[in-house]
Structure 1
Amino acid sequence: MVNHITAAIRDNKKASILAPIFVCFEVIFEVLIPVVMAILIDKGIDAGDQGEILRLGGILIVMAVCALIFGVLAGGAAADASAGLARNLRHDIYHHVQNFSFANIDKFSTAGIVTRLTTDVTNVQNAYQMIIRVAVRAPVMLVFAFAMTVYISPRLATIYLCAIPILGIGLALIISRVHGLFTQVFDTYDELNNVVQENLTGIRVVKSFVREDFEKKKFGTISEKLFRGFLKAERLIILNMPLMQFCVYACLLLISWIGARLVVGGSMTTGALTSMFNYTFQILMSLMMLSMVMVMVIMARSSAERIEEILEEESSLKSKPDGVREVPDGSVDFENVSFSYVGDPNNTSLNHIDLHIRSGETVGILGGTGASKTTLVQLIPRLYDVTVGTVKVGGIDVREYDLEVLRNEVAMVLQKNTLFSGTIKENLRWGNEHATDEEIERVCRLAQADPFIQEMPDKYDTYIEQGGTNVSGGQKQRLCIARALLKKPKILILDDSTSAVDTKTDALIRQAFREEIPDTTKFIIAQRISSVQDADHILVLDDGHISAYGTHEELLKTSQIYQEVFASQQKGGEEDA
């Protein structure tokens, strides 16, 4: 855990070193001030020496100004160091997450990763600032102030030796109880963020089903859980304040009682007793600051452990260092492939898939909900690794490829189409950042997107809102198909990505594929038989098994599932007519 945090300091080492140095100088001046004040009282005020009062008063002012300057410098350096640490931590987490496979993302959840990038990093940032400033200032102040009390009165100094163990034991007990509570609280934060994200992402569905009250209740439940968790932790933490105050007042009373007797007895001066009071506050305030640091460190420790979980997580998919750098063609072979999301050969989603597709062929994939159609095609660009067997692209095991090379040759239009904030051109250039305007317009014509784009106020420069909320489902699908085509892939996968377009547009898209990209291998997952019936082969999946494989005509003769789907859709079409 410490290694990951210290590694994130990087370019902020100078500020991280300067902050404690400035703090030490600040403390030295603050510790010397009570000594000078004692001399001022004894040799200036009590003696009535005006010159000595002015001289010592001037020294006090200079020392106070120096302490202030070093305090400001320390605060600035600590702020720079902690802010830089947070920036680097977010950079490290974000870049590490980019290498995660789908399985890794599923493990942590989107909300959990967001919480780590925000709340957890902020907790570590605040704790680091406290550590390089307050956690240095407090013990240095404690040591110097205690040394001065021993110098002034060894007898009174023993009072602090009794108070320190009481505080130490009390704080240790509090820390041991609170750490586990904060760990639970931050896990609840993940749940809260997940609820909020789910609600806002699906707000249209929530409103269309009038489920606002249900969502409010769900949010209220998790928010109450978070409140209870924090309340329980804070109730333990605040115990450190009365414990601290007890020790402060006990020390003051003892020093006042014993010190007054020493002054009356002539073994201590009034100035020395006054300085003892100042050092009492310095020592006990140092202990109080240490307790505050401990609270921050407790919270930060839980957060740091959660950050470490992300940074320690190894992607379940790794690109070979000397991976194959070229995909020969778009042929795809599944050789006795079985797949499990949990890596258990006895709990598989796909079972014994043997499939051989030549480059340039079009393969339609049909099957009911849960038949593992999407799972099958996600193995081609190696979004997941097979559990058993081999998937080959261009005759080479996908695990032998450099991942970036493989995925650049496999374009996927996923079931859930995603557009990003920016213009239509900017969104399409995700497929090829160097694409010309002419290339963009060409793929949009192939995807039947050009007609509706031309009707938009700024055409290809029209701004797309986050998530593509200002375009329809069918328009979004066509833009995503155009974006995939812009990659000029050897393999194109359409995962139910024409479900929101009408049958005429669907047919035009498939016709454009046949005529314009005949050498690209095409996988089309669809619910409508009309979307796949002109494919070279049609694969029927049933509960993770290949139920049938052949042309439209062959399946009408040999596959009961295909016959039933065809008959129901034909009947539905007649009724609609």
Structure 2
Amino acid sequence: MIKLFKNLQPYRWTIGLVLVLIFLQSLSELYLPTLMADIVDKGIVTGDNGYIWRIGGLMLLVTAASGLFSIFASYHSSKISAGFGRIMRGKTFAHVESFSLQEFDKLGTASLITRTTNDITQVQQVLLMMMRMMVSAPMMCIGGIIMAFSKDPALALVIVCVMPVLALTIYLIARKAIPLFKSMQTKIDKLNLVLRENLTGVRVIRAFNRIEHEKKRFDEANLDLTDTAVRANKIMAAMMPMMMLIMNFTSIAIIWFGGGRISTGHMQVGDLMAFLQYAMQIMFSLIMVSMMFVMVPRASASAVRINQVLDTVPEILDRPAAKVAAKRGGHVVFDNVTFSYPGAEKPAVSNISFEVKPGEITAIIGGTGSGKSTLLSLIARFYDIDSGSLKVDGIDVRDITQESLRSKIGFVQQKAVLFTGTVRDNIGYGKEDASDEEIRHAAEIAQATSFIAEKQEGYEAIISQGGANLSGGQRQRLSIARALVRRPEIYVFDDSFSALDYKTDANLRAALKQETTDSSVIIVAQRVSTIMDADRIIVLDEGEVAGIGTHRQLMETSNVYREIVSSQLAEGEIA
């Protein structure tokens, strides 16, 4: 957690101010019992009303000053903790954005969400408590002990005897509660995972009538977290009655022994009253410390999880000598490329060699799991190859900065992903400074103008989260328009026409051919009709190249391709 607190550097002077304010507040509160003792011993006992009014007025001023110190300290400490939370969320989010897909696979999306929100909130709350309690509690405890000894050293031995009992009670309670608070964070992860799966997969759940099953899954995760929280809070609930019991017995002991010392003339009534208040201040400061002992381990567990994210070094980084890719047209060459996913038993693709030339359409086809999408991920360097070489415009992709490499690519993935906002925002996502004319042109090529025109707001129509208010084909067309608007050197379509009807598919490919005359186009498709006119077709089978050529060439040379074609097209269409 200390490692995270290094991010408080911008607030170092404000933290110093808070410490000074808390110190002054503590001094004020420690001074009040002494003033009260003076009123009793020198004012009430002697009947000096003037002295009572003067010291009473002073007590009011000290109380007001203490209140002001407390208000300003609370304001600034809240500002610091909120600012710290903002810094940490921003830093964590920015670092997660640099992750490759391997880090997302390893840490998990649900866990990353929990770490960026709940875990940072836990540390933020403890920081607020630390600035208030962890500073004031030791001051009040040490100050109270000093003032108690100054009033009556002999009676102060009562406090000395009670403190080990209090400390032992705190230790026994904290030892049982701390592991439970730590485990709660992991169980929040689990609950978040189940909830996220339910919300994103709600259509599948309803389609298969699995609502009761999912309710049961959520209830199990929810009950597990609730049981742990209840057990932890039951233990914590025992702390306050125990503390109050010890405090009350301490008060009885102080009054008992203090009364004897008053009767023998070793102590005055006002001093005994002040002594009681100092004893209570010491006890309450120890209770505050005990609360910190419970909160800090939970926050420490959260801090470990946050540091785990921040300390994760992305597998894919720009090399020190990485270059900015020049605009040359998007010539892609796979030379004996092999790649395995982390932990996989065998390579996803093996010994892949082919070439993608500007001005040509290269298609990739194959069965499910043959490695089609994997090849596209390698071009964008979402993963790094194990062996061989993958070059774009004659330069190994690992020697090009990721930003400049991806700026050359217009990527349309298999599952269309849209963002909350307008139609214009989603198309313009591909090019930040895209003009209205460029956005309209991209939509026209992507065959999206027809359904956009049907919307009352047109390009200003709101797209809900994930494009839930659009059909699958409409989402795909907007995703294609998003790639077209940036006019990249390499167009990558990962089965991006699957939700389109045959007429729209044909119109889109015809318009696309005119638009991409100077660019490289790579299309992964399941439909043979989509790729029959491609300049080059790569056939994949179980991660290996089973044939390369045009449609006619492959029909003569590739058994795998002929099987795919015959399963989709009639005799007349094949000819």
TM-score by structure 1 length?
Answer: 0.95
1:15 counterpart residue number: 14
Q: CA deviation at 1:356?
A: 2.4
Instruction: Tell me if the contact between 2:356 and 2:522 (Cα under 8 Å) persists in the aligned partners.
Output: no
Q: Deviations over 1:304-328 (max 9, x none)?
A: 1111111111111112344211243
Relative to 1, partners in 2 of residues 1:132 and 1:481: Cα closer, same or farther, differing over 3 Å?
same
Residue 569 of structure 1: CA displacement?
A: 0.9
Give the aligned partner of residue 4 of structure 1.
Answer: 4
Paired residue for 2:333? 333
Q: In structure 1, what is the Cα distance between the partners aligned to 2:15 and 2:423?
A: 45
The 3-state SS of whatever aligns with 2:346 is coil
Question: What is the SS of the residue equivalent to 2:522?
Answer: strand
Gaps of 5+ in 2: none
Three-state SS of the structure 1 residue aligned to 2:154 is: helix
- Structure 1's 401 and 178: CA in aligned 2 closer, same or farther, altered over 3 A? farther
The alignment partner of 1:522 has SS state of strand
Structure 1 residue 67 displacement after superposition: 0.9
Aligned to 2:323: 324
* 2:501 equivalent in structure 1: 502
Q: Which runs of 5+ in 1 are unaligned?
A: none
Q: Which residue of 2 aligns with 1:370?
A: 369
Q: Name the SS for the 1:329 alignment partner.
A: coil
Question: Are 1:205 and 2:204 an aligned pair?
Answer: yes
Aligned to 1:564: 563
Q: Give 3-state SS (helix, strand or coil) of 2:523's partner.
A: strand
**Aligned residue number for residue 126 of structure 1:** 125
Aligned residue for 2:334, secondary structure, equals strand
| 1:239 Cα offset (Å) | 4.3
Aligned to 1:157: 156
Q: How far apart are residue 347 of structure 1 and its match?
A: 3.4
Partner of 2:190: 191
Match of 2:213 in 1: 214
Q: Report if aligned partners of 2:182, 2:297 keep a CA contact under 8 Å in 1.
A: no
Q: What are the Cα deviations for residues 259-283 of structure 1, in whole angstroms up to 9, with x where unaligned?
A: 1111111111111111111111100
Q: Measure, in 2, the Cα distance between the counterparts of 1:298 and 1:307.
A: 14
Kindly report which structure 2 residues correspond to 1:253-332, keeping only aligned pairs within 5 A, or say none. Answer: 253-327=252-326, 328-332=328-332
The residue number in structure 1 matching 2:66 is: 67
SS at the partner of 2:272? Answer: helix
1:321–1:402: 8 Å Cα contact kept in structure 2? Answer: no
Residue 389 to residue 5, structure 1, CA distance change in 2 (3 Å) = farther
Residues 465-492 of structure 1: CA deviation (Å, up to 9, x unaligned): 2211222111110110011011111111
- Contact 2:178/2:294 (8 A) holds in 1: no
Report the CA distance between 1:532 and its aligned residue: 0.8
1:23-43 deviation line (CA, Å, top 9, x unaligned): 111111111110111111111
Q: Distance in 2 between matches of 1:555 and 1:189?
A: 54
Output the CA distance in 2 between the equivalents of 1:428 and 1:572: 40
Cα distance in 2, alignment partners of residues 20 and 62 from structure 1: 21
- State the distance in 2 between where 1:149 and 1:418 align: 68
Is contact 1:381–1:407 with CA below 8 Å preserved after alignment? yes
SS at match of 2:469: coil
> For residue 480 of structure 1, what is the aligned residue in structure 2?
479
The alpha-carbon deviation at position 571 of structure 1 amounts to 4.7
Query: Displacement, 1:372?
Result: 1.9
SS of alignment partner, residue 94 of structure 2:
helix
C-alpha deviations, 1:496-542, integer Å up to 9, x for none?
11101011211122112222211211111111101111111111222
C-alpha distance in 2 between matches for 1:572 and 1:82:
72
Amino acid at match of 1:337: V
* Distance 1:339-1:229 versus aligned 2 partners, 3 A rule: farther
CA shift for structure 1 position 453: 1.6
Contact 1:139 1:286 in 2 (8 A): yes
Q: How does 1:374-453 map to 2 (within 5 A)?
A: 374-453=373-452
- Structure 1 distance, partners of 2:102, 2:59, is 64
Closer, same or farther: CA 263–347 of 1 in aligned 2, 3 Å: farther
Call closer, same or farther: CA 1:369–1:163 in 2, change over 3 Å.
farther
Q: Give secondary structure in 1 for the equivalent of 2:390.
A: strand
Q: 1:435 offset after TM fit, Å?
A: 1.3
Cα offset, 1:152, TM superposition: 0.7
CA distance change for structure 1 residues 218 and 572 in 2, over 3 Å: closer, same or farther?
A: farther
Match of 1:50 in 2: 49
Q: Which amino acid aligns with 1:413?
A: V
Aligned in 2, Cα 1:388/1:170: closer, same or farther, shift over 3 Å? farther
CA distance in 1: counterparts of 2:337 and 2:167, whole angstroms: 61
* Alpha-carbon distance change, 543 to 239 in structure 1, aligned in 2, over 3 angstroms: farther
CA distance in 2, matches of 1:138, 1:572: 87
Give 1:113 shift: 1.3
For residues 571 and 168 of structure 1, the distance between their equivalents in structure 2, rounded to whole angstroms, comes to 85
- After TM superposition, give the deviation of residue 241 of structure 1 in Å: 2.8
Shift of the alpha carbon at 1:116?
1.3
Q: Describe the SS at the equivalent of 1:412.
A: strand
Residue 59 of structure 1: CA displacement?
1.2
Q: Give, in whole Å, the separation in 1 of the partners of 2:392 and 2:358.
A: 9
Shift of 1:164: 2.4
Residue type at the aligned position of 2:85: A
CA distance in 2, matches of 1:27, 1:411: 63
Q: Give SS of 2:548's match.
A: strand
Give the structure 1 partner of residue 530 of structure 2: 531
The answer on whether the counterparts of 2:336 and 2:387 sit within 8 Å (CA) in structure 1 is yes
Alpha-carbon distance in 2 for matches of 1:315, 1:351: 24
Contact 2:363 2:534 in 1 (8 A): yes
CA distance 1:70–1:469, change in 2 (3 Å) = same
Greater Cα shift, 455-464 or 122-131? 455-464
Letter in 2 for 1:275: A
User: Residues 70 and 470 from structure 1, CA distance in 2 versus in 1: closer, same or farther, beyond 3 angstroms?
Assistant: same
Shift of residue 343 of structure 1? 6.2
Q: Distance in 2 between matches of 1:56 and 1:111?
A: 60
User: Which one is further off, 378-387 or 207-216?
Assistant: 207-216
Distance 2:167 2:188 in 1: 31
Deviation at 1:494, TM superposition (A): 0.6
Aligned-partner Cα distance in 1 for 2:275–2:260: 14
Q: Is the 8 A contact 1:329 1:393 kept in 2?
A: no
Whether the aligned pair in 2 keeps the contact of 1:15 and 1:80 (CA below 8 Å) is no
CA offset digits 1:99-151 (Å, max 9, x no partner): 11111112222211111121111111110011111111110001111100010
SS of 1:379 mapped into structure 2: helix
Call closer, same or farther: CA 1:335–1:461 in 2, change over 3 Å. same
Q: Percent identity, aligned pairs only?
A: 38
CA distance in 2, matches of 1:407, 1:382: 8
Aligned-partner SS, 2:212: helix
Q: Secondary structure of the residue that 1:488 maps to in structure 2?
A: coil
Cα shift at 1:428: 0.9
CA distance in 1, matches of 2:359, 2:442: 18
Query: Secondary structure of the residue that 2:569 maps to in structure 1?
Result: helix
Which deviates further from its counterpart, 257-266 or 564-573? 564-573
**1:330–1:360 CA contact under 8 A, matched in 2:** no
Whole-angstrom CA distance in 1 between matches of 2:40 and 2:117: 53
Aligned-partner Cα distance in 1 for 2:174–2:539: 60
User: Hey, what's the Cα distance between the residues in 2 that align with 1:127 and 1:323?
Assistant: 42
Matched residues in 1 for 2:176 and 2:354: separation?
58
Q: TM-score, normalised by structure 2?
A: 0.96
Question: How far does residue 11 in structure 1 lie from its aligned partner after superposition?
Answer: 2.8
Equivalent residue pairs, number: 572
Give me the whole-angstrom Cα distance separating, in 2, the residues matched to 1:333 and 1:180. Answer: 55
Residue deviations 1:546-569, cap 9 Å, x none? 222221112212222221221111
